[in-house]
Amino acid sequence: MIRNNYIGLLFLSVVMAVIPLFISNVYYLSILIFIGIYSLITIGLSLLMGYAGQISLGHAAFFGLGAYASGILTTRLNIAPIPAAIVACLFTGLVAFLIAVPTLRLRGHYLAMATLGFGQIIYVVFNAWIKLTGGPSGFGDIPRIRLAGICFDSDFKYFYLVWSVVLVGFLLAIHIVHSRIGRALRALHSSEEAAGTLGINTSRYKIEIFVVSTMYASIAGSLYAHFVTFLSPESFGISFSILLVTMVVFGGRFSVWGAILGAAVLFSLPEYLRVARDYDVLIYGVVLLLVVMFLPGGLAGWLDGMARRISLLFISRAPKRMKC
């Protein structure tokens, strides 16, 4: 099973490596860069939602923590971007840990509400702590990333940087899914009681995977900061949190591939919804409802089912179940 993923990943890597050579239009390149950045968040979120079965309605806040931390450390303290991103990631993980310990005892709706609440608190901090974050007016002049003598100031170079990180993040996620940790997460999602009696420390694993998912979001935030070089709190509010959840569910939350699919397909949604600005969350809600009702496995689940049905035409007995 994991071998299928390696093959897929290799294929994806080759495709991504080659794309910028054929696309000279910076607009399309920047779209792909954003899709990469959002994929990084959705990969982490799918580990939390699909495998561990938890929910976060405040993940945009962790994306923001990574972005602002990177921005502040590089502009105010003149720390180099890469170490700053690592510090930002650890900081975000710590905040997530402190939130997770009291919160992950809660069930279902209460957990959702708590993550919603914390997301809002962090969003308010971005707006209110003007001395640190520049408040609603935002702050800019975030430096470009410098690595091994290369300055990542063009979309062409940034594309390779972002997608290298995404592919590594993807690989790590696949490894987690296909390990005893991944099985423990799926087990505790299916029956927390039974998982406990098999020696799985359910609280610890829920906290661990929550922290990991926020660290993914933080790295994405750092990459975002050094790409757009200007941050304002608007990008890190509840609309984006809900869009992230919609991407994961639409793409297929039981699949790490689904995370990338969801980001790629729904990324442009805010663009199309520009005319209906105030209705964006409503549209996300409708998409979520439709997917959950008719396509619970999301796009990835649907494609997986199609692939199996097609292969049934060629093979006489049902193939081994494909997992991702």
Partner 1 sequence: MALLEIIDLEKKFGGLTAIDRVNFEVEAGQIKALIGPNGAGKTTLYNVITGIFAPDAGTVRFRRREITGCKPHLAASLGLARTFQIIKIFKGMTVLENVMVGRHLKSQATLPKAALRLPAVRREEKAIRETAARFLDEIGLKNRAGDPAQNLPLGQQRLLEIGRALASEPKLIMLDEPAAGLSGPEIRSLACLIRGIRDSGVTILLVEHDMSLVMDISDEVVVLDYGRKIAEGPPREIQNDKKVIAAYLGE
4/310 Cα distance (integer angstroms): 17
141/132 Cα distance (integer angstroms): 14
- Per-residue x/- track, 100-139, partner 1 (CB under 8 A): ----------------------------------------
| Single residue of 82, 106, 172, 295 touching partner 1 by CB under 8 A | 172
Interaction residues for partner 1, span 232-261 (CB under 8 A): 254
- DSSP tag of 76: T
The residue among 107 and 321 lying less far from partner 1, judged by its C-beta, is 321
In this structure, what are the phi and psi dihedrals at residue 139, rounded to the nearest 5 degrees?
Answer: -145, 155
The residue among 172 and 288 lying less far from partner 1, judged by its C-beta, is 172
In this structure, what are the phi and psi dihedrals at residue 189, rounded to the nearest 5 degrees?
Answer: -70, -40
Q: At CB < 8 A and 24+ separation, what contacts does 300-303 make?
A: 300/251, 300/252, 300/254, 300/255, 300/257, 300/258, 300/261, 300/324, 301/252, 301/254, 301/255, 301/258, 302/252
Stretch that binds partner 1, among 71-79, 180-188, 218-226, 284-292 (CB under 8 A): 180-188
Asked if residue 176 binds partner 1 (CB under 8 A), the reply is yes
Instruction: With CB under 8 A as the rule, give the number of residues binding partner 1.
Output: 32
Nearest to 49 by CA among 239, 217, 268: 217
The residue among 99 and 195 lying less far from partner 1, judged by its C-beta, is 195
- Per-residue x/- track, 182-221, partner 1 (CB under 8 A): xxx-xx-xxx-xxxxxxxxxx-----xx--x---------
Asked if residue 175 binds partner 1 (CB under 8 A), the reply is yes
Encoded tokens for 128: 């209110």
The residue among 145 and 220 lying less far from partner 1, judged by its C-beta, is 220
Site of interaction with partner 1 (CB under 8 A): 172-173, 175-176, 178-184, 186-187, 189-191, 193-202, 208-209, 212, 254, 320-321
